[in-house]
């Protein structure tokens, strides 16, 4: 980490010597036509939204700040078809499910870094340790359409730090409030024709609250601390060549209930450390682009029960990836690539090689097609082929009215994780799990929808989706014997409705509704998947844009969870939560921020036997230049 930070410091000094003090960023300039917004998450290369047949949600820095949440999952959960279940407060185990699929199927990348932890129970991102500060843009690809990322991507979250910076810019944020919460965040970035850099650091600490309802003995608070440093630097080497380096360091410490040591469920701690680095080189011109990258992610977790070390895990993910793009072929573009991954988890290793090719049509201004195929070679589970098809069709209904019709279909597979296989073959497993030979899961997903645009003032979207996972792997919660496999199909289908309406220069409305019907092979509802999710957002800007008030109301209905040892599911109560944020600019560079979370003081559970935060208030200050 010291070497990386030294390189970043040198690049910062070089840029500071050649930039003016009145720097500005252009990353959040208003887009006159939303259909022309460029996104990367769908095809791994920049593509206008009008050409994309899959469903994409995008948030910029201004919108992320409007939500105001410290945890990134609390921002993303307010997007269509996105559910979150968290076992208590900040830093506790969190699953983010897109269209009802498992949280470990959600792939998360930050400036190209794959945040997956190979030493986890499943190879998925530890999103509970990702803070919202320092995030400039979020792109979410909904559904199992992540062909070029890997065959097991059932949804992709592409997170970006600030780019396209001119001159020098920076900010300092401080916040304090309920549950003994304190947060300090700082960022600095700069850019010119030579290159650009951005560094952000966050220090977060909270005393928390009692997370476990069954912890009636002590009723102790369960706190969390997080220290994150994320740094990126890029250098333009001339003639289309560029070199980039990204480094991320996260240290999180979580107090929780439920280690069941010494006959109690309290006084449990978990330490999480992540160090990840990605270096890449690229070349591009008007006809093509090529990128080669290497990344290494090291994770370590250590659990403590009553101060005594317990379960620990060590993981490493080494990845080499190449992405190529030919973009001036007659009538179509080509995107192609290869990736090689080596997973290490607690002494076990496994390799996976992937190759993919995707054709993007470019013969029409209104009709677009994509067709892609991927081949994976897995050390333990052999060869697998997956594919994706999509289409989008634009219909002009006037000078500023456009209807976009879209559809897509994709397939994938997931190999059992090294941890799942090791547990079933280890000392703690017993029948029936110890007798099960785990095999790979397969999945597919279909969607069809329409989007309607009136200039930049109104966007309406309606999407129907239908997806399934065959032979899903799950933990035996009835007898704790290990990992079992649902021999059959687990389904998830429903529809999403979204409306984004700018009434005038002062008011904006945002509403989403998702109906998601899920089913296991035994006919029962899949656990912790609400059938109904709804969000309503209202934003006001006044006093020459010095005052901004944002209110976000979310509703969750019809969710079930399992009672350990019982075949009967428990119906969780419906709940609704209102969060509000207000920002007032004292000057062009100083801003006061106030926030009220769970304004109705709703008592609710996302996971059986786990509390959620009560009403909380926070106040902070932001200084920028």
18-32, 324-338, 552-566: range with highest mean pLDDT: 324-338
Question: Which has the minimum average pLDDT: 86-100, 204-218, 360-374, 437-451?
Answer: 204-218
Q: What is residue 231's predicted lDDT score, i.e. its pLDDT?
A: 98
Residue 206's Cβ-count burial label (10 Å; 0-12, 13-18, 19+) is buried
Asked if residue 23 has pLDDT above 50, the reply is no
Q: What is residue 565's predicted lDDT score, i.e. its pLDDT?
A: 62
Question: Which has the minimum average pLDDT: 140-144, 378-382, 448-452?
Answer: 140-144
Q: What is residue 562's predicted lDDT score, i.e. its pLDDT?
A: 87
Instruction: Name beta bridge partners: 289.
Output: 284, 325
User: What is the bridge-based pairing of β-strands 241-256 and 590-597?
Assistant: unpaired
Asked if residue 553 has pLDDT above 90, the reply is yes
The percent of residues above 90 in pLDDT, for the chain, comes to 79
Secondary element (H or E) of residue 62: helix 61-67
Which tokens sit at 298? 């090291």
Residue 545's Cβ-count burial label (10 Å; 0-12, 13-18, 19+) is exposed
Question: Which has the minimum average pLDDT: 29-33, 255-259, 348-352, 404-408?
Answer: 29-33
Asked if residue 28 has pLDDT above 80, the reply is no
Asked if residue 13 has pLDDT above 60, the reply is no
Number of Cβ atoms within 10 Å of the Cβ of 14: 17
The answer to whether residues 406 and 451 touch, using CB atoms and an 8 Å cutoff, is: yes
Q: Please enumerate in sequence order all residues whose Cβ is within 8 A of that of 238, keeping only pairs 6 or more positions apart, or say none.
A: none
* Nearest partner of 256 among 238, 275, 269, 239, judged by Cα: 269
**Cα 281 to Cα 230: distance, rounded to the nearest angstrom:** 19
- DSSP string covering 471-532: S-EEE-TTT---EEE--SEEEEEEEEEEEEEE-SSSEEEEEEEEEEEEE-TTSPPPTT--SE
Asked if residue 5 has pLDDT above 60, the reply is no
Selected residue with higher pLDDT from 259 and 492: 492
Q: What is residue 309's predicted lDDT score, i.e. its pLDDT?
A: 84
Instruction: Name beta bridge partners: 547.
Output: 542, 584
Looking at every residue in the chain, the average pLDDT score rounds to 91
Q: What is residue 261's predicted lDDT score, i.e. its pLDDT?
A: 52
The answer to whether residues 611 and 210 touch, using CB atoms and an 8 Å cutoff, is: yes
Secondary element (H or E) of residue 10: helix 2-16
Reduced 3-state DSSP string for 333-375:
EEEEEEEEEEEEECCEEEEEEEEEEEEEECCCCCEEEEEEEEE
Question: Which has the minimum average pLDDT: 170-174, 485-489, 571-575?
Answer: 485-489
Q: Largest Cα–Cα distance in the chain?
A: 72
pLDDT band at residue 265, thresholds of 50, 70 and 90?
low
Q: What is residue 15's predicted lDDT score, i.e. its pLDDT?
A: 36
Question: Which has the minimum average pLDDT: 21-35, 181-195, 219-233, 352-366?
Answer: 21-35
The number of C-alpha atoms within 13 Å of 173 and in the hemisphere containing its C-beta is 25
Mean pLDDT of 531-545: 97
Q: What is residue 162's predicted lDDT score, i.e. its pLDDT?
A: 92
CA 426 to chain centre: 32
Q: Report the number of secondary-structure helices (H) and strands (E) in the chain.
A: 4, 38
C-alpha Rg value of the chain to the nearest Å: 24
Asked if residue 262 has pLDDT above 70, the reply is no
Q: Please enumerate in sequence order all residues whose Cβ is within 8 A of that of 17, keeping only pairs 6 or more positions apart, or say none.
A: none
Q: What is residue 135's predicted lDDT score, i.e. its pLDDT?
A: 96
What confidence tens digit (pLDDT) does each residue in 245-254 have? 999 999 999 9
Which tokens sit at 377? 């070679």
The answer to whether residues 323 and 45 touch, using CB atoms and an 8 Å cutoff, is: yes
Q: What is the DSSP letter of 429?
A: -
């Amino acid at each position: 980490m010291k070497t990386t930070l030294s390189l970043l410091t040198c690049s910062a000094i070089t840029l500071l010597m050649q930039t003016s003090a009145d720097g500005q960023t252009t990353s959040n300039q208003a887009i006159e036509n939303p259909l022309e917004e460029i996104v990367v998450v769908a095809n791994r290369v920049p593509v206008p939204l009008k050409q994309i047949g899959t469903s994409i949600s995008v948030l910029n820095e201004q919108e992320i700040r409007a939500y105001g949440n410290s945890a990134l999952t609390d921002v993303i959960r307010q997007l269509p078809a996105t559910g979150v279940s968290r076992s208590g407060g900040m830093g506790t185990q969190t699953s983010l499910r897109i269209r009802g699929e498992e949280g470990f199927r959600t792939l998360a990348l930050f400036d190209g870094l794959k945040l997956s932890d190979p030493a986890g129970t499943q190879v998925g991102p530890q999103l509970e340790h990702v803070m919202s500060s320092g995030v400039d843009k979020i792109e979410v690809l909904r559904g199992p359409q992540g062909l070029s990322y890997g065959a097991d991507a059932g949804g992709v979250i592409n997170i970006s730090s600030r780019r396209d910076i001119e001159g020098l810019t920076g900010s300092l944020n401080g916040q304090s409030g309920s549950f003994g919460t304190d947060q300090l965040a700082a960022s600095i970035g700069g850019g010119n024709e030579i290159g650009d850099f951005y560094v952000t650091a966050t220090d977060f600490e909270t005393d928390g609250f009692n997370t476990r309802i069954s912890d009636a003995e002590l009723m102790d608070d369960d706190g969390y601390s997080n220290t994150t440093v994320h740094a990126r630097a890029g250098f333009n080497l001339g003639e289309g060549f560029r070199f980039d380096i990204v480094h991320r360091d996260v240290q999180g410490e979580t107090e929780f209930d439920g280690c069941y040591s010494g006959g109690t469920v309290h006084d449990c701690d978990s330490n999480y450390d992540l160090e990840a680095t990605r270096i890449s080189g690229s070349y591009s011109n008007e006809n093509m682009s090529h990128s080669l990258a290497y990344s290494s992610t090291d994770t370590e977790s250590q659990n403590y029960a009553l101060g005594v070390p317990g379960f620990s895990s060590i993981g490493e993910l080494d990845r080499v990836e190449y992405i190529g793009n030919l973009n001036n072929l007659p009538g179509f573009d080509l995107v192609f690539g290869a990736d090689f991954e080596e997973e290490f988890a607690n002494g076990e290793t496994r390799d996976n090689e992937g190759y993919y090719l995707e054709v993007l049509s470019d013969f029409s201004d209104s009709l677009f097609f994509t067709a892609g195929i991927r081949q994976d070679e897995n050390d333990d589970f052999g060869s697998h082929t997956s594919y994706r098809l999509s289409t989008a069709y634009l219909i002009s209904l006037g000078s500023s009215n456009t209807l976009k019709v879209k559809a897509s279909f994709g397939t994938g597979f997931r190999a059992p994780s090294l941890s799942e296989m090791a547990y079933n073959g280890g000392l703690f497993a017993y029948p029936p799990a110890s007798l099960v030979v785990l095999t790979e899961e397969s999945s597919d997903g279909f969607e069809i929808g329409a989007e309607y645009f009136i200039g930049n003032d109104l966007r309406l979207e309606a999407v129907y989706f239908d997806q399934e996972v065959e032979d899903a792997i799950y933990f035996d919660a009835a007898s704790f014997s290990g990992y079992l496999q649902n021999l059959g199909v687990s389904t998830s289908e429903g529809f999403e409705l979204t409306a984004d309406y700018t009434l005038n220069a002062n008011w904006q409305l945002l509403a989403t509704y998702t109906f998601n019907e899920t089913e296991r092979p035994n006919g029962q509802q899949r656990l912790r998947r609400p059938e109904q999710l709804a969000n309503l957002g209202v934003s006001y800007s006044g006093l020459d844009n010095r005052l901004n008030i944002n209110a976000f109301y979310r509703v969750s209905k019809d969710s079930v969870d399992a009672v350990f040892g019982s075949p009967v599911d428990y119906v969780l109560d419906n709940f609704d939560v209102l969060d509000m944020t207000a920002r007032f600019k004292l000057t062009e560079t100083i801003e006061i921020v106030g926030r009220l979370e769970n304004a109705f003081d709703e008592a609710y559970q996302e996971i059986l036997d786990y509390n959620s935060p009560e009403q909380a208030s926070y106040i902070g200050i932001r200084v920028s230049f």
